[in-house]
Structure 1
Amino acid sequence: MDLALASPLFPSNVTRGVDKIKPFSSMFATRKVPARKLFPCLAAVATQTPQTVEFDVESKKYELLRAVQDTKRGLVTTDDQRSSIEEALVTVEGYNKGAPLDLVKLDGTWRLQYTSAPDVLILLEAAERISFFQVGQIFQKFECKDQSNGGIIRNVVKWSVPPLLEEEDGATLLVSAKFSVVSVRNIYLQFEEISVQNIKIGEQLQALIAPALLPRSFLSLQILQFLRTFKAQIPVSDPGTGRQSVGGLYYLSYLDANMLLGRAVGGGGVFVFTKAQPLE
């Protein structure tokens, strides 16, 4: 690249009366300086390949997951940890900031790795304080693959009360909502129903209802069948008017094949999810 510099201090066509001194413009013209030496940062960006960008993204995602791994999904964090997590979160978010939301990629089941949302932390804290109450895996399940502007979202919480129910996966709390895409990366949630289902009876309770050493009566079998198929559904509505509940905005700040980051608009907390196997 030829750089020709001309200014009042360094004129390009004046010899200043000294024959042996060449004009400054000729000094630069006869020596070509590679652009990458003058602008190393710009050269680095220009020479990045899709492979190097992908490597950078994966390394930043790994740093984020490493930052949240010892927090018990957000329950136990220090000020320094929260600062490091937010910094790592913002870094990852910057890689596809402003890109349109891909509903095909969003569709599926996502496992919670970290959150600062108060409504989720209350459950985790209760499980920490109450010895007989357990909270297992927490998921968000999106059903939107064949949709163009929205779909269904289900918040799934696995919980248990041992030994009455199986460990960690004794029952399922399900909060269902419809969502619609309202901007490039914002979705609006309209909550519809809360349900408790998939009851899995623990061995002790099962033995109490129908002892293995005694013939099982029709009544005991009916009780077991009722508990196993029990499902309680509560519609979510405004108690004052009976109308549908007020929804909320959810900003999906990052999405790829194996990671989903979200922010509940209005100070509702941040969420870090990784892709999981489909739920039954």
Structure 2
Amino acid sequence: MELAFAASVYPGNGKRAIHEIKTKPLRSKLFTTKKRSFHNKFLCSVAVAPDGNRVSEVELENKKHDLLRAVQETQRGLIATADQRSIIEEALVSVEGYNMGAPIDLVVLDGTWRLQYTSALDVLILLEAAARLPFFQVGQIFQKFECRDRLGGGVIRNVVRWSIPNLLEEQEGATLVVSAKFDVVSVRNIYLQFEEIKVQDINISEQLQALIAPALLPRSFLSLQILQFLRTFRAQVPVRNPGTGRRSVGGLYYLSYLDRNMLLGRAVGGGGVFVFTKAQPLEL
């Protein structure tokens, strides 16, 4: 809006300058030349700067696209080969270089992020168990940050959708939530203090419902109570250090890249890398 307004103030016909030439020829001529010179330089700089920014944005989006394409066929990292991991690492480093050193923006970080790829062993073990065991499924995995209205930290919830076929609904039969508090300890590092593990949102399958309370028979008070219990079941276990029994389980997490639709992280100490994309909000 400001650029359009500036162009309209100094029209190309220069009528005001012509009027001043009649009364004060020398002064008006100099004034007109400087005015037009400044105006031309201003327009030139405006044309160049946005083009440079636009090229940079296009390059960044291409790098992000390359990264997502590289992880697409790895089943979130489960079946990634050594060559694929090398290509992914190279793509990660390429994207990370765009805002390296920029401070963490908690407003942008706030929200739900869907896991696209990881090399973290604790997550891969979970995915491998689902691949090997016919009675266990793992659906979507999320990280939910709650930090928009907080200073220097917030809450992070690792959310895993899982199921047991024929007993629970496919992919989203139940939800596992690992909650932690986090504090921003440096420009790009946050420290996680894990607090509890919770199982909630049990969605039993139609087969199990029919077994507990058949639709063709009168449903007893007991069968209805069992259904209600399963649907509202929630188990909470505090996270404690197995050596001391205290709540001292935590670790550093390096947020290597962040914008409004992509989050890259590295668990400090060789715990693996994570690639997330922005997802719809989760209600927990």
| Pairwise TM-score range, normalised by the shorter structure | 0.7 to 0.9
1:239 shift after superposition:
3.4
Equivalent of 2:129, from 126, 129, 138? Answer: 126
- Cross-structure match for 1:91: 94
Q: Quote the Cα distance in structure 1 between the aligned partners of 2:237 and 2:192.
A: 17
How far residue 148 of structure 1 moved from its aligned partner, in angstroms, is: 1.4
Q: In the alignment, which residue of structure 2 is the partner of 1:168?
A: 171
Aligned equivalents of 1:131, 1:246: Cα separation in 2: 32
Q: Indicate whether 1:275 and 2:245 are aligned.
A: no
What TM-score, normalized by structure 1, do the two folds share? 0.82
Output the TM-score relative to the length of structure 2: 0.81
Letter in 2 for 1:211: P
Q: Does 1:104 align with 2:107?
A: yes
User: How far 1:237 moved relative to its partner?
Assistant: 1.2
Deviations along 1:5-27, one digit per CA (max 9) or x if unpaired, are xxxxxxxxxxxxxxxxxxxxxxx
Regions of 4+ moved over 4 Å = 45-48
Correspondent of 1:253 among 251, 256, 273: 256
**Is structure 2 residue 214 aligned with structure 1 residue 214?**
no
Q: Higher helix share goes to which structure? A: 2
| 1:228 and 2:268 aligned | no
1:52 aligns with 2:55: yes
Residues of 2 paired with 1:196 and 1:46: CA distance? 52
Letter in 2 for 1:199: I
SS at match of 1:263: strand
1:78 deviation in Å? 1.2
Look up the equivalent residue of 2:88 and give its one-letter code.
Answer: I
Taking every aligned residue pair, what percent have the same amino acid on both sides?
79
CA RMSD of aligned residues (A): 1.3
Distance in 2, matches of 1:148 and 1:99, equals 17
User: What count of residue pairs does the alignment treat as equivalent?
Assistant: 236
SS of the equivalent of 2:73 reads coil
CA displacement at 1:210 relative to structure 2 = 0.3
Cα distance between partner residues in 2 of 1:223 and 1:99: 53
Cα shift readout 1:114-166 (whole Å, capped 9, x = no counterpart): 00000000010001100121000000000000011000000000000011000
Q: Which shows bigger deviation, 190-199 or 45-54? A: 45-54
Check if 1:205 corresponds to 2:208: yes
Q: Give the letter aligned to residue 126 of structure 1.
A: A
Shift of residue 77, structure 1, vs aligned partner:
1.1
Amino acid aligned to 2:99: N
How many angstroms does 1:47 deviate by? Answer: 9.2
- Per-residue deviation at 1:48? 6.1
Instruction: Give the letter for the 1:77 counterpart.
Output: A
State how far apart, in whole Å, the 1-side matches of 2:175 and 2:246 are: 26
Unaligned runs of 5+ in 1: 1-44
SS of alignment partner, residue 100 of structure 1: coil
Whole-angstrom CA distance in 1 between matches of 2:275 and 2:142: 11
Could you say which residue in structure 2 is the equivalent of 1:195? Answer: 198
The answer to whether the 8 Å contact 2:239/2:249 transfers is no
Which residue does 1:79 correspond to in 2?
82
Distance 2:72 2:101 in 1: 28
